[in-house]
Amino acid sequence: MNLGILSLLPIIVFFTLVFTTKKMVMSFVAGILTASLLMSGTGFVGSFLNFIQAGFMGGTVGYLCLLLALFGVLIKLLDASGAALGFANWVSKFANTPRKALLLSFVVGMATFVDDYLHEMAVGSAMKPVTDKYRISRSKLAFLNNGTASTICVMVPISTWGAFYAGMYESSGVCEAGQGLSTYIASLPFMFFPIFMLLIVLFLCFGILPDLGSLKKQERLAREKGIVCSAAVSNKAEDITIAEETEDQETKNMNPVPFILSIVVIVAVTILMGDVCMGCCAAIAMMFILLLLQKRMRFAELLDASFEGAKSMFSVYLIIVVAIAFTEANTAIGMSDFVVSAVTPVLQSSASLFPALVFVFLAIYSFFAGGAWTQSMIFMPVILPIGFAIGANPLLMAAACVCASAASSTYYIGADAVLLTSAATEVTPKGIIDAEIPYCLIATVLSTVAFLIAGFLL
């Protein structure tokens, strides 16, 4: 189906509503209804239901919901058993200032480079009690978490992102079969967006970069009033405040070992099995055994806590389903085809400008329509042949596509990464985007300039 410029209407409706009402699910549903009306007219109800069904059945939705449920269970067990508090108290002996707490969060993020899903849930759950203790807003933790997730994965070839794009390089004609990984490694110096984002987050941790935009407000509330997550950006729609300091001896002696072992088990099993869900299952099983042996919780209490943990993720499950349904609806009405046909004449203008133009086009598309890996599967086979035809540098234009994908994972409001970060830090997706958008704009502008310079030099 080709609706021309009308195919942009669902996205316009969605963003108008999400930034005026701040209600994610309602905004996605309104966008899906708009696409259904455009596609089927009076028969829109059938199309709407088909899109919602596609959302439940789409690509990674089942895996993501399972992952969220497992992390919900694990986090609840760690909280209920006191292991999270024990870890926070123990880490505070080393990370004894806000700056050190932020830097430790950054280091934990660098250590979980294998997979962005693992990164988002591990950093959020491990460092949340520590950053809370030092009155660091959840918004800043969410930005640190999300801003380093896909970006560090892109920069490490042995991550899930490296493996995926090594295959995409081969299938898109950037290199010959069997040369994907070596070609991907050769393109790493041109991964400008991940490089700039990682530097920006690091500079923010050191205090070299100031708090900007909504992050400045959230940091002031955390620092002055102890509100680490205000009701305006909280998934709970209520202020989250830091726990009062207590001299209770039992609180001081909370054991950090279960928490540390949980993180180690998740990372180790994920690397060995290649599946974050398997890592979560192993950590949950370990927690059950430890808590039963230590007699900290009875089996019935463990089951109740597990149920509560899984249930706490329901709102995020729902957002994932409608976000995927929205993507399906936009695909069905031909939005991506319209956008490509509109920008193709511009992309063909110059071989030197081509990498920068590709990055800018896909980065803008990413903000409004998202996609990450899906975006690459749609656009790389279409856009790269244009670059080959006009003689653009293959490594530069391939890197531009990867950078745009990382940007999509970082600042699209319905991105998997943003939703998982939201679940881990309890900050709404919109709250995360509001906090990080000034820094993402800086990284995007710097990346565009870098692609321009490289395009003319190489």
- Quick: pLDDT tens for 64-120: 788 888 888 988 888 877 777 777 778 777 888 999 999 989 988 888 887 888 888
- Quick: pLDDT tens for 171-180: 888 888 889 8
- Quick: pLDDT tens for 380-423: 888 888 999 899 999 999 999 999 999 999 999 888 889 889 98
pLDDT at 274 over 90: no
Q: Name the band, by pLDDT with cuts 50, 70 and 90, for residue 453.
A: very high
- State how far the Cα of 24 lies from the Cα of 99, in Å rounded to an integer: 33
Give the residue, 318 or 243, on which the prediction is more confident: 318
What is residue 251's predicted lDDT score, i.e. its pLDDT? 47
Total residue length of the chain: 458
Q: Which of 237-241, 251-255, 263-267, 380-384 is predicted with the least confidence, judged by mean pLDDT?
A: 251-255
pLDDT at 19 over 70: yes
Type of residue at 314: F
- State how far the Cα of 106 lies from the Cα of 422, in Å rounded to an integer: 17
- State how far the Cα of 109 lies from the Cα of 149, in Å rounded to an integer: 7
pLDDT at 227 over 60: yes
Q: Name the band, by pLDDT with cuts 50, 70 and 90, for residue 334.
A: confident
- State how far the Cα of 314 lies from the Cα of 304, in Å rounded to an integer: 16
Those residues whose C-beta lies under 8 Å from the C-beta of residue 9, and which sit 6 or more positions away, are 34, 38
pLDDT at 250 over 50: no
- State how far the Cα of 149 lies from the Cα of 138, in Å rounded to an integer: 16
- State how far the Cα of 434 lies from the Cα of 18, in Å rounded to an integer: 12
Q: Which of 69-73, 137-141, 201-205 is predicted with the least confidence, judged by mean pLDDT?
A: 69-73
Q: Are 118 and 112 in contact (CB under 8 A)?
A: yes
| Average pLDDT of the segment spanning 268-290 | 88
| Average pLDDT of the segment spanning 49-64 | 81
pLDDT at 310 over 80: yes
Those residues whose C-beta lies under 8 Å from the C-beta of residue 394, and which sit 6 or more positions away, are 174, 175, 384, 387, 388
What is residue 88's predicted lDDT score, i.e. its pLDDT? 75
What is residue 130's predicted lDDT score, i.e. its pLDDT? 86
What is residue 243's predicted lDDT score, i.e. its pLDDT? 62
- State how far the Cα of 77 lies from the Cα of 287, in Å rounded to an integer: 7
pLDDT at 244 over 50: no
Counting Cα atoms < 13 Å in the Cβ hemisphere of 272 gives 10
Residue with tokens 């200032």: 97
178-187: long-range pairs with CB below 8 Å, 24+? 181/157, 183/395, 183/398, 184/157, 185/157, 186/395, 187/395, 187/396, 187/398, 187/399, 187/402
Q: Are 2 and 334 in contact (CB under 8 A)?
A: yes
- State how far the Cα of 71 lies from the Cα of 121, in Å rounded to an integer: 7
pLDDT at 24 over 60: yes
Question: What are the structural domain ranges in the chain?
Answer: 62-317+335-458
Q: Are 338 and 369 in contact (CB under 8 A)?
A: no
Enumerate the H helices of 22-115 as residue ranges.
Answer: 24-40, 44-57, 61-80, 83-91, 98-111
Q: Tokens at residue 333, please?
A: 């009405």
pLDDT at 230 over 90: yes
Q: Which helix (H) or strand (E) holds 241?
A: strand 240-241
**Count of Cβ atoms closer than 10 Å to residue 446 Cβ:** 17
Q: Within its chain, how far is the Cα of 237 from the centroid?
A: 21
| Average pLDDT of the segment spanning 204-232 | 93
Q: Within its chain, how far is the Cα of 326 from the centroid?
A: 18
- Helix and strand totals (H; E) in the chain: 24, 2
**Count of Cβ atoms closer than 10 Å to residue 328 Cβ:** 20
pLDDT at 59 over 80: no
Type of residue at 90: W
Give the residue, 206 or 370, on which the prediction is more confident: 206
CB burial string 233-260: b at 16+ within 10 A, e below: bbbeeeebbbeeeeeeeeeeebbbebbb
- State how far the Cα of 296 lies from the Cα of 319, in Å rounded to an integer: 35
Q: Which helix (H) or strand (E) holds 227?
A: strand 227-229
Q: Within its chain, how far is the Cα of 197 from the centroid?
A: 13
pLDDT at 340 over 90: no
| Radius of gyration for the alpha carbons in the chain, expressed in angstroms and rounded | 22
What is residue 247's predicted lDDT score, i.e. its pLDDT? 42
Q: Which helix (H) or strand (E) holds 240?
A: strand 240-241
Q: Which helix (H) or strand (E) holds 12?
A: helix 9-21
- Quick: pLDDT tens for 292-304: 888 888 889 889 9
What is residue 248's predicted lDDT score, i.e. its pLDDT? 45
| Average pLDDT of the segment spanning 184-189 | 95
Mean pLDDT, the chain, integer: 87
| Average pLDDT of the segment spanning 352-368 | 91
pTM for this model (two decimals) = 0.84
Nearest to 361 by CA among 400, 335, 303, 333: 400
Q: Are 367 and 455 in contact (CB under 8 A)?
A: no
DSSP symbol at 298: -
Q: Is 46 exposed, middle or buried (0-12, 13-18, 19+ CB in 10 A)?
A: exposed
Percentage of the chain modeled with pLDDT above 70? 97
**Count of Cβ atoms closer than 10 Å to residue 337 Cβ:** 17
